[in-house]
Chain A
């Protein structure tokens, strides 16, 4: 490895730039609703960049290329699924979710099912999925700093945790929106620039070649492993349907002006993601040619960081490595910032709010307390589960989301017959089963035969079971369909410019006066002016 000075400077610069953009956003962040959701004054391109920036995590930036390097064509389903997940979200969820006026998944659960039990259960799941997704981000940071400098893993993990805290504590969501948008473009440039240099070297055929490893049949041809068909379909199901249930994804939709804007934003997101995901594939293939030895060392995850210095010597190699390192840090920072904001939002609203006093001050204090709490717990969990590979924890988070929030959202938006008890049963079954798969992976338990295969990739079993449970229990408890379901359906589906009664949205009016003020504002914007 080259002298790490340039890379360290790059990482520090990204952190400082992130904090600076955050501080700039802070000046615009004034009221509580600003603090939480940027007042929804964010245009589609900026918002789509922010959504993509937040979404492209350590798994996308490092993990996907590493897995493609190690395991080949079957891993192309990761980028495909991560993009297609947004298509499924677009067609089923984007506009109705925005129109619901819900800021978090528990808000949506409460609005649609009119039950505090469902709200609390959703809160617990948001925190669980959020923490599960935070672990690989912190791990990725540790891995990156170790690759670049040889520092122990905890250095990078703690560094990212601290920057995320500094970021979220003062600024809230508005600054986060700007940071996320900035991070998407930084990540794109960081991976794209070395590609241009690679292509230039390729054209003048000075590229060191190791084409042999690329021609191995079990790498080039699909489904060559054991149980490959099941594992592939399970991965497809988890990614296609899990995206909509990730807590930091859903929050973003509140920053759209209306349901129509939410759709258009998501369409731009599809383009941005599809554009980005070309790059990990190229890095995986190039890595197979130039850095195949990483697989044997068990360090495939670092291929993106190692590749520039394998091709170029001296200042150019160092400069490109520094750029990629900056992009990688942007990936950890943006995703973990988004996750921390949503986990802290849920924690502060549902668990801490009562102890911190009323009004705007109390709300912000609770949010800050929750931020510190969420980050600390995630760091501890990262230390505990050090053995789990980066992309594995992310796959499992998708599987849990697809087995819990996906059925709740799909059935809640499109089926009047859903009941609170049905949702609770479905969340317990889907969440319980997928979480037990997570725990068995975390503690390295290996089961023989098909059971072990299902535990490795649970979505293909747990997602249908969660749907079946929600539908069956809802049909049995048909008499308990929420009282205002018709009003809610109007709210979810009618375009905003039509003047209709959509009901008033008051999540937890008794416990949380400040949210109900926000709800009233949301309602006022919803029933808008443009008539005729």
Chain B
């Protein structure tokens, strides 16, 4: 890549290429080795992965707590819901069966997709893409 200019006069045109490709390759080993050597920088990388996964997990838990987890409180504060019927079925029975399990599966699916994406970002970072 870094061809030396030829000696003869006048100097030939030289193609100058960006050193980026080579630089990236050195970074591949460096991020991983920073982590292996447990330097501050390596710790920052690992912490960023853990934070992104934790933020996702807490987000899913909050979503669960604010919907399904809020139901007992809702039933307590608005007892009329217990007498409200949808398609002949009392609302709490629908909420605690069909709605709850659909929500749990949906949250799980969203989580798995996003968690895998976070990991891909981390490995892209390490492989310097």
Contacts and interface: CB of A to CB of B under 8 A. Distances in A.
A76 interface: yes
A217 B80 CA distance: 12
Contacts of B49: 493-494
B84 to A, nearest CB: 10
Nearest to A85: B104
Nearest to B102: A274
B112 A73 contact: no
Interface majority SS on A: helix, strand, loop or mixed? helix
Interface in B93-129: 93, 96-97, 100-102, 104-105, 107-109, 111-112, 115-116, 119, 122-123, 126-127
Contacts of B93: 73, 76, 220
Contact of B76 (A229, A264, A266): A229
Contact of A263 (B35, B69, B81, B112): B112
Interface in A473-491: 486-487, 489-490
B108 A220 contact: no
Given A84-B104, A88-B61, A498-B32, A222 B119 contact: no
A501 B36 contact: yes
Contact of A260 (B50, B57, B69, B116): B116
A77 B96 CA distance: 7
Nearest to B85: A220
B126 A498 contact: yes
A495 B32 contact: no
Chain A, interface size category, equals: 35 or more
Contact of A532 (B72, B76, B109, B127): B127
A493 B46 contact: yes
B32 A267 contact: no
Nearest to A90: B108
A266 B96 contact: no
Contacts of B102: 274
A233 interface: yes
B32 A499 contact: yes
Interface string B60-83: 110010001100110110010111
Contacts, number: 131
B54 to A, nearest CB: 5
B105 A223 contact: no
Nearest to A233: B72
Contacts of B111: 87, 90-91, 263
Interface residues of B, number: 47
A414 B105 contact: no
A223 B73 CA distance: 10
Contacts of A414: 50, 54, 57
A495 B115 CA distance: 11
Q: Which of A264, A271, A281, A498 has most B Cβ within 10 Å?
A: A498
A80 B100 contact: yes
A240 B115 CA distance: 20
A278 interface: yes
B116 A73 contact: no
A493 B119 CA distance: 9
Interface in A357-408: none
A291 interface: no
B50 A489 contact: yes
Interface string B30-53: 001001101000010010011001
A73 B92 contact: yes
A263 B109 CA distance: 10
A497 B123 contact: yes
Given A229-B73, A264-B112, A91 B60 contact: yes
Nearest to A268: B108
23 contacts: A73-B92, A73-B93, A79-B97, A83-B104, A84-B100, A87-B107, A87-B108, A220-B82, A222-B82, A223-B76, A229-B72, A229-B73, A236-B69, A263-B115, A267-B112, A270-B104, A274-B101, A486-B38, A486-B46, A493-B49, A494-B49, A499-B32, A532-B127
Given A221-B92, A236-B72, A270-B108, 5 more contacts: A77-B96, A223-B75, A229-B76, A267-B109, A414-B54
Interface of B: 32, 35-36, 38, 43, 46, 49-50, 53-54, 56-57, 60-61, 64, 68-69, 72-73, 75-76, 79, 81-83, 90, 92-93, 96-97, 100-102, 104-105, 107-109, 111-112, 115-116, 119, 122-123, 126-127
Q: Which 8 A-B pairs have the closest CB atoms?
A: A221-B82, A274-B101, A76-B96, A91-B57, A222-B75, A501-B36, A232-B72, A495-B119
